A and B are shown apart, each in its own frame.
Chain A
Amino acid sequence: DIQMTQSPSSLSASVGDRVTITCRASHSISTHLNWYQQKPGKAPKLLIYAASSLQSGVPSRFSGSGSGTDFTLTISRLEPEDFAVYYCQQYGFSPFGQGTKVEIK
């Protein structure tokens, strides 16, 4: 099974900061990587699919990059509503990363 490892597990940032979260796959997964945002008590929300495609309706400050084993999610300028937990996932049949909690500094 392919394992997904996210880092960091948590980070503190301020509104307006640039934030980068990384996800590493144990084997190459091409660009088969999705990113989700989850807020307390809510279902996850898809942000990025196929490593770099922005889901419709998601603000352009979110971007994804990478291929093979190394991927990043970048929030160019953090907004108050972006404080949440972020998960990566290889397509469909696969485990999620352990999550990255973005907290207010």
Chain B
Amino acid sequence: QVQLVQSGAEVKKPGASVKVSCKASGYTFTNYFMHWVRQAPGQGLEWMGIINPRGDSTSYAQKFQGRVTMTRDTSTSTVYMELSSLRSEDAAVYFCARDTYDSSGYFVHWGQGTLVTVSS
């Protein structure tokens, strides 16, 4: 069965970077785009960007351009999301979510979420 297992909670200081991982299993890793979505405490869902694990191409939401980097490691079927220059408003739960086979843009499979706390 499809599983997306994310790395554990992080505590970072303002100005630092955080790198969250999402390890995929149960399917052919390179056949499905992966998205990242975040959710600040008590707030809604915010789409951050997408990576194509086959060719490593990415597309980021304009809000995060210049601060986010999404990468993948095909040898371990893992995608990564790194967010730099952290500020207090980046405190959130970060989710990875797998696209459909034909990249239709809806998400059946999600990671469990990674809580990122930003505090001095």
Contact = CB atoms under 8 A, between A and B. Distances in A.
A97 B61 CA distance: 15
A91 B107 contact: no
B44 A43 contact: no
Contacts of B37: 44, 96
B73 interface: no
B44 A92 contact: no
A49 B107 CA distance: 9
Given A1-B62, A92-B50, A98 B108 contact: no
Interface residues of B, number: 24
Contacts of B61: 95
Contacts of A32: 105
Nearest to B60: A93
B110 interface: yes
